[in-house]
Amino acid sequence: MGRAVPQRDRNPRPMATQARSWHADRPRECCGLVGIRGDAEAARHTYFGLYALQHRGQEAAGIAAAGGRTLRLHKGPGLVSQVFADRAALERLPGTAAIGHNRYSTTGASSAINAQPILIESKRGQLAAAHNGNFVNAAALRGAMEEDGSIFQTTTDSEIVLHLLARSRAARLPDAIEESLRHVVGAYAFLFLSPDMLVAVRDPFGWRPLCLGRLGQAPVVASESCALDILGAEYVRSLAPGEMLVVDGGGVHLRHLPAAPRQSACIFEFIYFARPDSRIFGRMADKVRRAFGRRLAEEAPAEADIVMAVPDSANTAALGYAERAGLRFEIGLIRNHYVGRTFISPHEHERDVDVRVKFNPVAGVLRGKRVVVVEDSIVRGTTLRNLLRLVRGAGAGEVHVRVSSPPIRCPCFYGIDMSSREELIASDQTVEQIRDFIGADSLRYLSIEGMLGVVPDADAMCTACFTGEYPTDVPADFHKEQFDRAGRAGA
């Protein structure tokens, strides 16, 4: 096991100063990947696949397409619909192969220069790459390269692999990719596109999901199966940890990277990230999520009248809780889906408005009721506190919070934007303190044993954010913007 990040000696932070906007108080998503080769409408189909994966990243989007001997790229900040608002952009991406990327920044600032795919020119010709995950040894690798004269155009760790590829003397691209990836440690699902081939690869630990499908005769790869569904593509299987899929004029070829000491699929994909209708790691996310809710009801029953969810990500777990508890499931909060993720409230009274803009309680459901509120996870707790105020303000008599995951006590270094203990309320607060802060009558979490008891292949899951037992060594000074000028100045 890797060593845990040492916790700084400090007094517990004042909870009243923790307030953030809604999306700063959630586990932030990873990125979304789509790739296809052998399809006359490759860019268009990649575009629709990215739409289905919009939940995995809202900061930027892009598509690189291979037409003849040339790669063309269109990318920018914003949602897929914004980046491709001019439909002529897709017409400028001809070809029968394409890769696409939705970005949420887990390394590197949220800026236009960090949008992906990244397109380079090297001795191998043009190459585009898209990445989901984080390297824990990125700082050491990049520092050594910069000392050796390398010039970086972005502040993401993804670009490191492209520098390694440019230095490789391997004759064939798949060999160069494998050689380059041997140098990095951490989580990755990668797509590479050259004029001749599409390459998809998962890291040997298997942190991030990647599945294979088929649209007619064209192989399709995507982070989640919902991207296949929107295309009408057939789901084939999940790529195995360390598996490399090479698609060229000769068909589909498989190879494998050296095995890792253990498999470490991110359990947060089941808890929160994946769409419930997606198949990830070979399993349907909604079935696992409902099982979390049922086990939570067994471990943490409550004397209550109704069960409701914090929409939308906790809906499935709440249904499982209500089913096992024998309580009626109700829609107690209505979420406004048309509020942009750029809505930021700098002042305390505006933060309350932030929550009210996004959620509205259903008073007729809540008035006079003892309510179980099911949430999938708690990061800082500030948004949940404001939501419970809404629930009580609508007349709920009692509010019991049940969380369908264990307390998040430790940072993540493998692709979730939780890279410091200061972000995590459970890192230095007891369950009772958190209950008092959010204003609940009771608070219970799903136990680690209970969570793993319902997950298929539990011994192949990464639970480091709950336990602090990291599958690799991790840097003590890691932070999201470590390669940005401001980040370096503050390091």
Q: Return the exposure string of 190-226: e unless at least 16 CB atoms fall within 10 Å of the residue's CB, then b.
A: bbbbbeebbbbbbbbbbbbbbbbbbbeebbbbbbbbb
User: Is there a contact between 24 and 422 (Cβ–Cβ < 8 Å)?
Assistant: no
For residue 151, what are the β-bridge partners? none
Length of the chain: 491
Q: Helix or strand or coil: residue 44?
A: helix
Of 21, 17, 16, which is closest to residue 437 (Cα–Cα)?
16
Distance of CA 101 to the CA centre of its chain: 13
User: Is there a contact between 295 and 450 (Cβ–Cβ < 8 Å)?
Assistant: yes
For residue 102, what are the β-bridge partners? 32, 61
Residue 307: what are its φ and ψ, rounded to 5°? -120, 135
Q: How many CA atoms lie within 13 A of 117 on its CB side?
A: 30
For residue 283, what are the β-bridge partners? 280
What is the C-alpha separation between 428 and 103, in angstroms, rounded?
A: 31
Residue 379 burial by CB count (10 A; 0-12/13-18/19+): exposed, middle or buried? buried
Q: Which of 30, 31, 410, 462 is catalytic?
A: 31
Distance of CA 405 to the CA centre of its chain: 16
User: Is there a catalytic annotation at residue 412?
Assistant: no
What is the C-alpha separation between 379 and 24, in angstroms, rounded?
A: 9
Tell me how many degrees the CA angle 420-58-461 measures, rounded to the nearest 5: 50
CA end-to-end distance (rounded Å), the chain = 27
What is the C-alpha separation between 90 and 98, in angstroms, rounded?
A: 11
At position 466, the amino acid (one-letter code) is F
For residue 373, what are the β-bridge partners? 308, 401
Q: How many CA atoms lie within 13 A of 143 on its CB side?
A: 6
Contacts of 480 (CB under 8 A, 6+ apart): 105, 106, 107, 108, 109, 417, 419, 487
* Residues designated catalytic: 31
